[in-house]
Amino acid sequence: MTKPIHSPLPTTAEDPFLWLEDRTSKPALDWVHGQNARTKERLQGDASYQPRYETALELMTAEDNIAVGYELRGHVYNFWQDKVNTLGLWRRTTVASYKTDKPEWQTIIDFDALSAKEGVRWVFSGARRLYPAFNRCLLNLSPDGGDASEMREFDIETGTFVDGGFQAPVSKSSFSWLDIDTVIVAAAFEAEERTQSGYPRVVKLWKRGTSLAEAVPIFEGEVEDLAVGGALEFDGDTQYLLLTRSIDFYSGHHFVRLASGENRRLPLPDDVCEIALLKGQIVFSVRSPWSAPGGATCLPDGLYAFDFKRWLEMGDIGAIETVLPPAERVSIAHVANTRDRLFISLMDNVRGRVVYAERSGHGWSLTPVSLPENGNVGISHINQFGSSVSFSFTDFLTPSSIIWSDDDGETLATVKAQPARFDASDLVSEQFEARSKDGTLIPYFVVRRRDQKEPVPALLYGYGGFEVPLLPAYAGLRGKLWLEKGYAYVQANIRGGGEFGPRWHQAALRDKRQNAFDDFAAVAQDLVRRGISTPSMLGIQGGSNGGLLTGVSLVQRPELFGAVLIEVPLLDMLRYTELPPGASWMAEYGDPTKPEEAAWLATYSPYQHVADDADYPPVLLTTSTADDRVHPGHARKMAARLQAAGHANALFFEETEGGHGGRGDRRIQAAQTAMKYVFLEQALKGATK
């Protein structure tokens, strides 16, 4: 094993590229434009770029893509983008029409037309509808695709913004309805209203006809917290105003606001996960074992309940009931309820299944939903005010479909199915395991030609953080631009993710982060051992926390890879908390202002480990100027440092809009996708000769 490469660790004062952290300064943007021109010349100048771009755009905007929708009061709502509607349409149709091959859609908002009228490229960022008619909404509009958005009140029936209605400027605040004349505001407008992470610290009630400045505070968190929030939660027609103080990503306090004005804390542990209300019961799960009042023990990956109404009236929770007992290699992906049933989406050895839970006088019972097996099954939409629920099904080789029920999962019908986007007849999906450095077995999937005899170029994808699982999913672009060429795709289920519940995540948390990197390297080595690929033919890809993963892989184990894609990444782990909203992730990584935590961050922080004499494979780093979740300074500084160290094969590209998730114009997304596949083939194709 090649030992990790280390170079002197610069202090902030010694950092020659600190100026690139200034998101919109002229020197920084001049550097970005120069880098973009160089990268475009290299990648868009390739003869294969244009056909790849056209294929990507065609698939992203195809008329026969599935219109994924959710139902409220007999209408199915959907956000849609195609070649004509580049910024998209928010639209709706009846349930009956949605189930047909050609639904008759009613446009609610045309964002291209709105943007042309107002001179701002508005990106739809969601809407909160008003119970019970759902004909008014608080609409969120992002001016650049970032997380910060403007809010306006909109009347769905008339298709117009409400004259003199609720409206708030661009911020990371959130809004929801209390009633027709009152909005719940989690405020992050002024400095004193924000946490150190830049998220809301104060919840207020804002009355119609008053200014935002007159909104009345009802709940506050600490500056050091992650955020606070507030929203109505429903149990049938009964409404509760629940308030949340998120201390960090994995702990918080939950409160219910009583009629007296008291905010009473729910009797739940700090690390509670899922919470749902159903027929007077509150259902929850935990991240670590919890000894509940009365002596019951609640375990991770299980689901539990107590009598919520009893607690409100009497102040004690009574007996804790088990809704779902924990099981080996089974974890909870999602919990949601219709009016009468609780649906639980499960991951069973990285494959999906769904059950529903009901409570009677004998306790809770579980019933499997009759969905396809051995794939990624999940809840697509659920109507908590009715009985409609839909499920998604897919795997690496099966196009996505939507399976709909109007009667709480009793009767199921496939109402939407995406056409095949690539020829999968000669492909196979397999699951293997690699043994990590500490002996832990790490599962991973390989999609490749069934008759593969020799090593081929392969793309290894990973994430490994924030309890996020990577599950099998159909990707037409990957199939068309990669698999159809005879190449392989690999998806690694490394620790830090959520594939096997909280313990799988906690095994790579904070000072244990190296486990995730070792897991990824172990999968790469196992691919070579099995003859699926070779180091020079193996590319790796990851975004956000996955960008940190591929960045670390680059500097720690460059000999294992032939190409490295680092997308919207964290890379300077000694300064990440200085780049908003980096402080929000300290529960995941640690606090670099504390010497003992800075020490473990310093052992792997990619930016500080770039070496002049290392033999790095080709690298492409991508980011967005409008990314207000992971600061573009990470990718900028890493590219500059690699190039300054003499690594001319380090490319950089920064889009000016789209935010962290690349939302907005599909043409921009198609261009980036095409460039990435050109980069991979340029870097790896020589290894096949």
- Residues identified as active-site: 544, 660
Residue where the block lists tokens 């929203």: 231
Residue where the block lists tokens 């009797």: 267
**Residues 6 or more apart in contact with residue 598 via CB below 8 angstroms:** 574, 590, 591, 592
To which H or E segment does residue 574 belong? none
CA distances 284 to 275, 323, 372, 576, Å, are 5, 9, 27, 33
**DSSP string for 9-69:** ---GGG-TTGGGGSTT-HHHHHHHHHHHHHHHHHHTTSTTHHHHHHHHHHHHT-TTS----
**Gap between the Cα atoms of 359 and 340, Å rounded:** 10
Strands lying side by side in the sheet with 538-543: 427-435, 441-449, 488-492, 458-461, 538-543, 563-567, 619-624, 650-655
Strand 650-655 and strand 619-624: the pairing is parallel
Is 283:275 a contact under the CB 8 Å cutoff? Answer: yes
Does residue 341 come out as left (phi exceeding 0), alpha (psi in the -120 to 50 range) or beta?
Answer: beta
Look at residues 479, 441, 446 and name the one whose alpha carbon lies nearest to residue 461: 446
To which H or E segment does residue 630 belong? none
Is 125:442 a contact under the CB 8 Å cutoff? Answer: no
Strand 342-348 and strand 563-567: the pairing is unpaired
